[in-house]
Amino acid sequence: MTQGLSWEKARAAEKLQRGVSVRARLAALGVLVMGAMITMLLGATVTTGRFFISVNDVLSRPELVGRTVRITGAVIGDTIRFDPDTQTISFTVAHITDKLSELEALGGLARALHLAVNDPTANRLQIVVRNQPMPDLLQDEAQAIMTGRLGSDGVFYADELQLKCPSKYESAVPAQAE
């Protein structure tokens, strides 16, 4: 009789130990999953904390080549080209700051765009936008906001193009983190 009882105790202890082991593994897995989610959330917040980045930022960070980014620049009007057969737009943008305080110090967005286009020392970036009709607002000194990838050839290939005409939106500057 004692032998059957000790066998039952050993079996119960083994089940309890297996249950604790499974619970410990599930808890560890839960902690790992939560840690991964927190890391991804923080990473996304850090990289998207700004509405867009500047031409200088893109050109100074080689790790951005091939990655999708959102940039801004001042359109240089005499560089605008459009091929209606392929629906390809190409133009050059000059660096403008992406910091609200600096834009205000320059006299607003319209003034900053004008200064950037006419500054021969400003960094410039060639833009190519494919499969899009020619937008009416693509003109000299417009603010271009583009989402796309910087190619290894130094050209920015935009998938999305948004434009702000400075005369139409002189006081409008998107609020963004500095």
For the chain, what percentages of helix, strand and coil (3-state, to nearest 5) are there?
40, 30, 35
Find the helix or strand (DSSP H, E) in which 148 lies: strand 143-150
- Higher-confidence residue of 130 and 37: namely 130
Residues in CB range of 125: below 8 A, 6 or more apart: 55, 58, 59, 71, 73, 92, 93, 95, 154, 155, 156
Per the CATH hierarchy, to which homologous superfamily does domain 53-164 belong? Answer: Nucleic acid-binding proteins (2.40.50.140)
Radius of gyration of the chain (CA): 28
Summarised one tens digit per residue, pLDDT across range 158-173 is: 999 999 876 554 444 4
**Which sequence spans correspond to the domains of the chain?**
1-49, 53-164
For 28-42, what is the mean pLDDT? 73
Report pTM: 0.65
Q: What is the DSSP secondary structure assignment for residue 67, as one 8-state letter?
A: S
Residue percentage of the chain with pLDDT more than 70:
74
Residue 173's pLDDT is what?
Answer: 47
- Higher-confidence residue of 28 and 139: namely 139
d(CA 127, CA 138): 12
For 79-106, what is the mean pLDDT? 92
